[in-house]
Amino acid sequence: MMKTLTLLMLLCGALFMSSCDNKPPKDCALLTIKTEDSSIKEIRAQVGRKMKVLKRNSQGEFRDTIHFKKKSSDQILLFSSNMIRFVYVEKNKSVVMNVKGDDLSMATFDKDLEKENNLFTKVNEELKQNRDKYNKIETIQKAKEEVDQFLNKYKKEAILISKDPNYQRIANRIFSNNATVAIILPVEAKIQNHRITEGDLAPGKPAPKFSNYENINGGKTSMDDFKGKYLLIELSSVTCCACKRQIKPIRKLKKRYHDKNIEFVNISISRKKFHDKWAEMVKKDRLSINHLFTNGDQSLLKAYATNSFPSFILIDPQGNIVTAKAPKATDSKIIELLDSVL
C-alpha cells in the first residue's frame, strides 16, 4: 500500500513539474521549438546583441527563456544551418514553434501568440512562392516598388491581428527585413556580379582608390603608398564576427608569402565610436599587417560592389584589379590564387 502511494505521489510530482516547465518564469517568455528532424543539432537564438546556443533537451525539444527588463515584447532571430527566421515573444507568454523538416522559416505556431507568428510564416511562404517573379526584376527602383507594395499589404494584416503598437513595430521591421532579403538583395547581387565580371570591376580594370585612411600608428595611408606591390585587401568591421575568424589564416598567409611582392591590408569600415575598440583589437591580435580605419566612410563598399563583411580584393602592382571578389582567407582557394600571381 505504501509503495503504491509513493509511486502515485512521484507520478503526480512529475506531472506537476512537467506542467510548470511549460510556463515561463515571471517577467519572462518561454520559447519551445519542436522538430522531428534529427539533422538539427543546435539552434542559435539572438535577442538584441546576445547570442545563445540551444541544445535538445531530454524531450527532444529546443527551449529558450527570454528575460525582460524594460520591454514587454521583443523579437528573437533564430539560426539553424542556412535557415533563419524571426519569432515574436511577449512577457509571461509561452510560444510553441513546430518545425517540419529543417526549414525554420515555414514553422507553424500554437499556444500563445499563434496568429502573430503564423503571419510571419505566411510572409515567408509568399516570398518563396514569388521567387521566380522577383528574379526577373532588373533594377533597384523596380525592386523597391515591389517591396513597398508587399509591406503595405502585410502592415494592414498585422493591424487586424493585433492593435499592440509594439507588435506592429516589430512586425513591420520583420516584413521589411524579409522583403529586402528576398527582393532587393538578389537584384543588387546581379548588378554587383555584372560589375565584377564585365563592368568597371572586371579583371584588368583600374582599382577604386582609397586615400588618407588612419593607420594603427596614427598616421595616414593611401592606396598609392603601396604602388609597385600586390595588395590583398580585406574590408572588415569591428563588430563582424566572421572577420575575427580570418586572423589566423591571414597570419599564415603573411608567413607563407613573407618574401613575395605583396602587402596585406585590413580596412575596418566602422563608425567613429568604434575607433578605440578597433585600436585595442589590433594591438591584442598582434597581426603585423597594414591596419586602416575609415572613421565611418563607407564609400569602398559601393566602390567594390559589396555589402558584406569580410570581403577580399586582390590588386596588382600597377593598381589594376586581379579580382574584386577574392576568396576569403579561410578558403584554401586563396592560396591557389596568390600562388598563380606571385
Task: Give the pLDDT confidence of 135-166 residue by residue, as tens digits.
Answer: 999 999 999 999 999 999 999 999 999 999 99
**Domain stops at, among 126, 159, 191:** 191
What is the overall mean pLDDT for the chain? 90
> For a pLDDT cut of 70, what percent of the chain falls above it?
93
Residues 47 and 168 reside in one and the same domain: yes
Assigned domain for 219 exists: yes
Residues 239 and 182 reside in one and the same domain: no
Q: Give residue 21's pLDDT.
A: 57
What tens digit of pLDDT does each residue of 216-268 get? 999 999 999 999 999 999 999 999 989 999 999 999 999 999 999 999 999 99
| Maximum distance among all Cα pairs of the chain, rounded to whole angstroms | 93
Report d(CA 186, CA 194) in Å as an integer: 12
Assigned domain for 205 exists: no
Assigned domain for 14 exists: no
Residues 50 and 186 reside in one and the same domain: yes
Residues 219 and 170 reside in one and the same domain: no
Q: Give residue 6's pLDDT.
A: 43
Assigned domain for 186 exists: yes
Give the total number of structural domains in the chain. Answer: 2
What tens digit of pLDDT does each residue of 87-139 get? 999 999 999 999 988 889 999 998 899 999 999 999 999 999 999 999 999 99
Dihedral, 229, 234, 238, 239 alpha carbons, nearest 10: 180
Assigned domain for 89 exists: yes
Query: What does the pLDDT average to over 9-19?
Result: 37
Residues 242 and 179 reside in one and the same domain: no
In 3D, which of 38, 159, 287, 91 has the Cα closest to residue 278?
287
Residue 223 vs residues 61, 212, 317: alpha-carbon distances, Å: 53, 9, 11
Residues 87 and 227 reside in one and the same domain: no
pTM: 0.73
Q: Which region among 13-27, 91-105, 270-284, 299-313 has the lowest average model confidence (pLDDT)?
A: 13-27
Q: Give residue 114's pLDDT.
A: 95
Query: What does the pLDDT average to over 75-81?
Result: 89
Residues 42 and 119 reside in one and the same domain: yes
In 3D, which of 274, 266, 271 has the Cα closest to residue 295?
271
Q: Give residue 4's pLDDT.
A: 44
Q: Give residue 33's pLDDT.
A: 94
Residues 304 and 248 reside in one and the same domain: yes
Please name every residue paired with 43 in a beta bridge, in sequence order, or none if there are none.
Answer: 54
Residues 235 and 159 reside in one and the same domain: no
User: Residue 78 belongs to what domain range?
Assistant: 24-191
Q: Which region among 27-31, 66-70, 234-238, 280-284 has the lowest average model confidence (pLDDT)?
A: 66-70
**Domain stops at, among 161, 191, 221:** 191
Q: Give residue 50's pLDDT.
A: 85
Residues 145 and 246 reside in one and the same domain: no
CATH of residue 274's domain is: 3.40.30.10
Assigned domain for 103 exists: yes
Residues 176 and 217 reside in one and the same domain: no
CATH of residue 133's domain is: 2.60.40.1120
Assess contact for 56 and 66: CB atoms under 8 A. no
Q: Does the structure show a pLDDT above 90 at 19?
A: no
Assigned domain for 316 exists: yes
Assess contact for 33 and 44: CB atoms under 8 A. no
Strands 83-90 and 62-67: unpaired
Assess contact for 263 and 236: CB atoms under 8 A. no
> For a pLDDT cut of 90, what percent of the chain falls above it?
79
Assigned domain for 208 exists: no
Residues 125 and 251 reside in one and the same domain: no
